[in-house]
Amino acid sequence: MEIVKISAIKANSKNPRQIKDDKFKKLVQSIRDFPDMLNKRPLICFTDVDKKYVVLGGNMRLKAAQEVGLKEMPIILADDWTQEQKDEFLIKDNVGFGEWNWDELANDWDSELLDNWGLDVWQNDDLSNENNYNGQNPELELDKFLNAELKRMFLVYDNETFENVIEWFNKQQAKHELENHSQVILKLMENENI
């Protein structure tokens, strides 16, 4: 591991991962609150022809560290990797292979801390209690959600059912040549006999 000037590091233009708005603010705050974590999770870089360090793993951490105003960052060099290995790492480093144990998180962790640390957690907000909305009408908050450009729906399954559901979605996606599972749901809504 080396400590290098942040000005000698550049983001990878091929990085397909993005972080936006609230999530980015939380990452910035997490680095501001706990900068030492970067020493245990350094950036993975390679040296380009201009002698700059290009990030393979940690592009969002670099962006957040720049926002915080850090002058140096720890890196590990991967100059011995082939281009194929660098490309593979760029993707694999951003894939979430595991699953969260939501029961354990709900019972053993503080949901506000988890949210502050960037984990999307379910909040048990009582919509009838207007105090949860700082004096705003909860119906207005619901309208904001319903009129937002993007919306999410979360379904909770046990592991076996989840695997069966994903397998079914994957089959339908391939069978109907659809781009993603959201399109499978839309297709199902159009034709209940999918």
27: how many CB neighbours lie within 10 A of its CB?
Answer: 20
- Residue 130 confidence (pLDDT) above 50: no
Flag whether 176 is in a domain: yes
Please count the other Cβ atoms lying within 10 Å of the Cβ belonging to residue 104. 9
pLDDT tier, 136 (very low <50, low <70, confident <90, very high otherwise): low
pLDDT of residue 98: 77
Report yes or no on 19 lying in a domain: yes
Cα radius of gyration (the chain)? 21
User: What pLDDT sits at residue 58?
Assistant: 94
Q: Is the pLDDT of residue 194 over 70?
A: no
CATH code, domain carrying 34: 3.90.1530.10
Residue 99, in any domain of the structure: no
Q: Does residue 86 form part of some domain?
A: yes
Domain enclosing residue 179, as ranges:
159-190
Q: Is residue 131 part of a domain?
A: no
Reported confidence tier of residue 7, pLDDT bands at 50, 70, 90: very high
Give the H/E segment covering residue 89.
Answer: helix 83-92
CA-nearest of 61, 15, 11, 60 to 38 is: 61
d(CA 62, CA 73): 8
The first and second tokens of residue 9, run together, are 């590091």
Which of 65, 92, 119 terminates a domain? The answer is 92
Residue that is last in its domain, among 33, 65, 92: 92
pLDDT averaged over the chain? 83
Q: How confident is the model at residue 3 (pLDDT cuts 50, 70, 90)?
A: very high
Strand pairing report for 43-47 and 53-57: antiparallel
Q: What is the pTM of this model?
A: 0.59
Q: DSSP states of 134-192 as a string?
A: TTS-HHHHHHHHHHSS---------HHHHHHHHHHHHHHHHHTT-SSHHHHHHHHHH-T
Domain boundary (92, 116, 148) is at 92
